[in-house]
């Protein structure tokens, strides 16, 4: 395989779904490249194709037009080096935390080794759930359940982490805390992150770069570097340059909602 520091690339990607009453074009003419270890947030109006972008990257479907590649290779099916975290963690309700985390291995190989369990316990500790390994999902708060979903996605040590509004179901304080925790994990073990959100502050605080999509069919209407250096804390959002940046993002989104 050719060496590349492009983790993800979309070349003229379009996605049209057939529906009972016709067809829906979710994405059109999307061309973008994301470098290895870049943290990219995607903002856009509801229904503009953000999740579709992520599902194409994950290999959960193939584009109707164009090509999606991961590390220089066309995506045709899910890969072990790409992990996904959804808005709801979709945990197995009858399985404890540790069994949920090792699930990808059990699903793929039909067995779980002692080494897998050790690895799972290390990751569970990394996401702050040490001591909860044997608890069932129903015994955990929403934030803790989402941590289990993140641990499960990290379990195979993916190079790419796809996150679809991962914190949007959480209360505001937990959401902020989880964002900072994600940054800590990302800094400790760099990964390419594609992070979908509806929140401008969340995108501006977490990402290196922000892609803004238009109304459906989603096209990239802005591709902007976040103007503030890391490390960042909440006060980073209050600087004049970040306030201007947030206002720019808002006007791009409002323009599209009004169009
Ligand atoms: N499997 C499918 N079959 C038919 N239409 C679909 C399918 N998946 C997505 N769509 C349609 O494609 C469009 C884009 O959907 P997608 O979920 O990617 O948008 P989104 O930007 O993630 O939305 P939201 O912000 O509301 O989560 C929507 O109109 C949706 O109804």
How far, in Å, is the centroid of ligand 1 from the Cα of 53? 10
Q: What is the pLDDT of residues 53-97, one digit of tens each?
A: 999 999 999 999 999 999 999 999 998 899 999 988 889 999 999
**Whose Cα sits closest to atom 3 in ligand 1?**
17
Ligand 1 centroid, distance to 48 Cα (angstroms): 7
- More confident of the two residues 258 and 159: 159
Mind giving me the DSSP string for 127-155? TT-TT-TT--GGGS-HHHHHHHHHHHHHT
Token output for 249: 């993002």
Q: Which atom of ligand 1 is nearest to the CA of 54?
A: 18
Q: What is the pLDDT of residue 63?
A: 97
Residue 138 falls inside a structural domain: no
**Average pLDDT, integer, range 149-169:** 92
Measured distance CA(39)–CA(202) in Å, rounded: 12
Is 63 inside any structural domain?
A: yes
What pLDDT score was predicted for residue 259? 52
The band of 2, judged by pLDDT with boundaries at 50, 70 and 90, is: very low
Residue nearest to atom 30 of ligand 1 (CA): 47
Q: Given ligand 1 and candidates 28, 41, 45, 50, which is best to mutate, with the most ligand atoms within 8 Å of its CB?
A: 50
Query: Which atom of ligand 1 lies at the shortest distance from residue 49's CA?
Result: 18
Q: Return d(Cα 20, Cα 115) in angstroms, integer.
A: 48
pLDDT score at 37:
96
CA-proximal residue: ligand 1, atom 7 (nearest): 17
Paired sense of beta strands 192-196 and 39-43, if any: parallel
Assess: ipTM above 0.95: yes
Q: How far is the CA of 52 from the centre of ligand 1 (A)?
A: 6
- Residues with Cβ within 8 Å of residue 51, at least 6 apart in sequence: 164, 196
* Domain tally, the chain: 1
Query: Position of tokens 């949007």?
Result: 168
Please name the residue whose Cα sits nearest to atom 20 of ligand 1. Answer: 47
Is residue 15 in a domain? yes
pLDDT band at 257 (very low <50, low <70, confident <90, very high): low
How confident is residue 117, by pLDDT bands cut at 50, 70 and 90? Answer: very high
How far, in Å, is the centroid of ligand 1 from the Cα of 174?
27
Task: Write down the pLDDT at residue 27.
Answer: 97
Ligand 1, CB cutoff 6 Å, lining residues: 17, 19, 24, 26, 44, 46-52, 216
pLDDT-above-90 percentage for the chain: 75
**Count of beta carbons in the 10 Å neighbourhood of residue 184:** 13
Domain extent, residue 10, equals 1-76+193-259
Q: What is the pLDDT of residue 258?
A: 52
Classify residue 225 by its DSSP letter: E
Angle between helix 142-154 and helix 114-126 axes, rounded to 10 deg: 130
Structural domain contains residue 210: yes
Residue 210 to residue 253: CA distance in whole angstroms: 12
- 100 within domain boundaries: no
Q: Which atom of ligand 1 is nearest to the CA of 196?
A: 22
Ligand 1 atom showing the smallest separation from residue 165 Cα: 27
Q: Is the pLDDT of residue 104 over 70?
A: yes
The tokens for 129 are 């759930």
106 in any annotated domain: no
Strands in the chain per DSSP E: 6-19, 22-35, 39-43, 65-70, 73-74, 82-85, 160-164, 192-196, 209-213, 220-225
Instruction: Count Cα atoms within 13 angstroms, Cβ side, for 20.
Output: 0
The answer to the question of residue 168 being in a domain is no
Residue with CA closest to ligand 1 atom 1: 17
Question: How do residues 163-194 score in pLDDT, each as one tens digit?
Answer: 999 998 888 888 888 898 889 889 988 999 99
Residue 239 falls inside a structural domain: yes
pTM of this structure: 0.92
Question: Which residue's CA is minimally distant from atom 5 of ligand 1?
Answer: 17
- Domain holding 258: CATH number? 3.40.50.300
User: Which pLDDT score, from 0 to 100, does residue 171 have?
Assistant: 85
The Cα 59–Cα 33 span in angstroms is 17
Structure tokens at 132: 């909860």
The helix, strand and coil proportions of the chain, stated in percent and rounded to the nearest 5, come to 40, 25, 35
Nearest CA to ligand 1 atom 2: 17
């Amino acid at each position: 395989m050719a060496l590349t520091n492009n983790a993800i690339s979309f070349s003229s990607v379009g996605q049209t779904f057939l529906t009972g009453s016709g067809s829906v074009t979710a994405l059109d003419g999307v061309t973008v490249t994301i470098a290895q270890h870049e943290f990219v947030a995607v903002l856009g109006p509801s229904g503009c194709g953000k999740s579709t972008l992520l599902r194409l990257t994950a290999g959960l479907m193939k584009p109707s037009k164009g090509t999606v590649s991961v590390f220089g290779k066309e995506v045709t099916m899910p890969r072990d080096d790409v992990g996904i975290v959804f808005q709801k963690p979709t945990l197995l309700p009858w399985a404890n935390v540790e069994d949920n985390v090792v699930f990808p291995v059990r699903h793929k190989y039909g067995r779980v080794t002692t080494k897998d369990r050790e690895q799972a316990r290390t990751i569970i500790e990394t996401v702050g759930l040490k001591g909860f390994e044997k608890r069932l999902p129903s015994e955990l708060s929403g934030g803790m359940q989402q941590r289990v979903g993140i641990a499960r996605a990290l379990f195979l040590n993916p190079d790419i982490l796809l996150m679809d509004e991962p914190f949007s179901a959480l209360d505001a304080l937990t959401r902020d805390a989880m964002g900072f925790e994600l940054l800590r994990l990302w800094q400790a073990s760099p990964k390419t992150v594609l992070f979908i959100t509806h929140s401008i502050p969340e995108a501006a605080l977490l990402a290196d770069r922000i892609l803004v999509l238009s109304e459906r069919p989603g096209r990239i209407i802005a591709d902007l570097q976040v103007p503030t250096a890391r490390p960042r804390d909440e006060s980073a959002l209050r600087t004049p340059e970040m306030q201007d940046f947030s206002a720019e993002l808002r006007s791009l989104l409002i323009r599209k909602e009004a169009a």
